[in-house]
Amino acid sequence: MAAAVAPPLCTWLVAACLSAACGDGEKENERRHRGGGVGGFFGSRRRLGSGRRGVGRSGMAMSVALHPERTAVENKKPDMKQRRVVVTGMGVVTPLGHDPDEFYNNLLRGISGISEIEAFDCSHYPTRIAGEIKSFSTDGWVAPKLAKRMDKFMQYLITAGKKALENAGITEEVMNELEKSRCGVLIGSAMGGMKVFSDAIEALRVSYKKMNPFCVPFATTNMGSAILAMDLGWMGPNYSISTACATSNFCILNAANHIRKGEADVMLCGGSDAPIIPIGLGGFVACRALSQRNSDPAKASRPWDVDRDGFVMGEGSGVLVLEELEHAKQRGAEIYAEFLGGSFTCDAYHMTEPHPEGKGVILCIENALADSGVTKEDINYINAHATSTQMGDLKEFEALNRCFGQNPQAIC
């Protein structure tokens, strides 16, 4: 145990917390081991069985005090693997359609959602194309008064979320039977309410009195999840995550974990963004990350291609209904897929450039496979990031090849 002793201050803090929960006999036992004074927590220079110097006797006290507590905590923890998570609903708002079947069939037919930007004049930008939603209505999905004030990313989010519920067969009757305290919303946004915030800055140039009083709350990324939850009356986990291109994946995994851990039975999860405005386009142009293949929008995004020249911006929302398996069975829900597991890692290398050896990607894949109980040989499809950037695609391919090189069908 000596080698695993925490730093002195941490040891003292944890031991102090533990002592409050100990009975008189346990306190006496702790006092005997730590020598009776506060100094014992910070350690005296006495040799322990390991032969190492400079390790306090508080380490011994901690080992005695922690074991019963740790066992008790572990016994109370639910077995996450016993609660299985399934997908029972899908909702989308995209340039390729606002219905899952329409969206998917257009993808299969090779139809591109990339076209010239029409929302504003971008003739002076080197990039003038994007995955822009040309027609969209919130009628029947968002209250008109709210729709006029909120950012498009929130309009997309609420619409896609309610469509996912409809797709999942969660009617008004089913909704009334749900335990609302065990239903949550976790839908993120990479950019948040950029248009609302940008408009507020322009108004501020005249006077703060001209600003939208809702500009701050409607610009925050979590407000979409919050308003949708208020609309539904869902009182379970409610927040958003913003992690750039990985936002939706983070939200889906966290939502699944809430169900696996027994904190929720139903979760709406996914992502939504509406960054196709002057400041959004200009910001990515300044990063030199966007394709400038304006003359051929449909073929501008070309991941893995030797002539790739950057990614293409897009907007829209995608939301899933995740549900605990038995809960879904009890209401007779159609099950599209089962969520098995996932992982979070970080390159800890650079803001935009991938790690030269792909360490973060490799670690994430290995951890996700372990969490899912799936072998590399079981994988037959990978949805790659594939940004069409020179370094991004190369390093991602190298990382995938290192993980699945013996399983070429996975990365075909």
User: Could you give the domains of the chain?
Assistant: 85-339 (3.40.47.10), 342-411 (3.40.47.10)
The residue type found at 28 is E
Of these ranges, 6-20, 244-258, 394-408, the one predicted with the greatest mean pLDDT is 244-258
Q: How far is CA 94 from the centre of its chain?
A: 19
Indicate the SS3 state at residue 304: coil
Q: What is the pLDDT of residue 410?
A: 62
The residue among 313, 315, 260 whose CA lies nearest residue 289 is 313
* Eight-state DSSP code of residue 211: S
Query: Does residue 8 carry a pLDDT above 60?
Result: no
pTM of the model: 0.79
- Residue-wise pLDDT tens digits, 231-255: 999 999 999 999 999 999 999 999 9
Q: Are 374 and 344 in contact (CB under 8 A)?
A: no
How many whole angstroms separate alpha carbon 117 and alpha carbon 275?
12
β-pair type (266-273, 316-324): antiparallel
**Nearest-angstrom CA–CA distance, 54 and 136:** 68
In this prediction, residue 60 carries a pLDDT of 42
pLDDT value of residue 84: 96
170 vs 60 pLDDT, higher one: 170
Which of 24-33, 39-48, 199-208 bottoms out in mean pLDDT, i.e. has the lowest?
39-48
Q: What is the pLDDT of residue 80?
A: 54
- Residue in 9, 21, 14, 25 with CA at minimum distance from that of residue 63: 14
Question: Is residue 7's pLDDT more than 90?
Answer: no
Half-sphere exposure of 179 (CA within 13 A, CB side): 8
Contact 117, 274 (CB under 8 A): no
Both tokens assigned to 83: 């609660």
SS3 state of residue 187: strand
pLDDT the model gives residue 300: 95
Q: Answer whether residue 335 shows pLDDT above 50.
A: yes
Assess whether pLDDT exceeds 80 at residue 14.
Answer: no
User: Which one is predicted more confidently, 173 or 61?
Assistant: 173
Of 94-103, 211-220, 221-230, 254-263, the range with the lowest mean pLDDT is 211-220
In degrees, to the nearest 5, what angle opens at C-alpha 245 toward C-alphas 411 and 292? 85
More confidently predicted of 75 and 208: 208
Query: Model confidence at 358, in pLDDT bands (50, 70, 90)?
Result: confident
How would residue 406 be classed by pLDDT, with cut points 50, 70 and 90?
low
Q: Which residue has the higher pLDDT, 252 or 56?
A: 252
How confident is the model over 42-69, as a mean pLDDT?
40
Contact 281, 115 (CB under 8 A): no
Q: Contact 267/322 with Cβ under 8 angstroms? A: yes
pLDDT at 66 over 70: no
DSSP class of residue 185?
E
Categorize the per-residue pLDDT at 41 as very low, low, confident or very high, splitting at 50, 70 and 90. Answer: very low
pLDDT level of residue 9 (50, 70, 90 thresholds): very low
Average pLDDT, the chain: 83
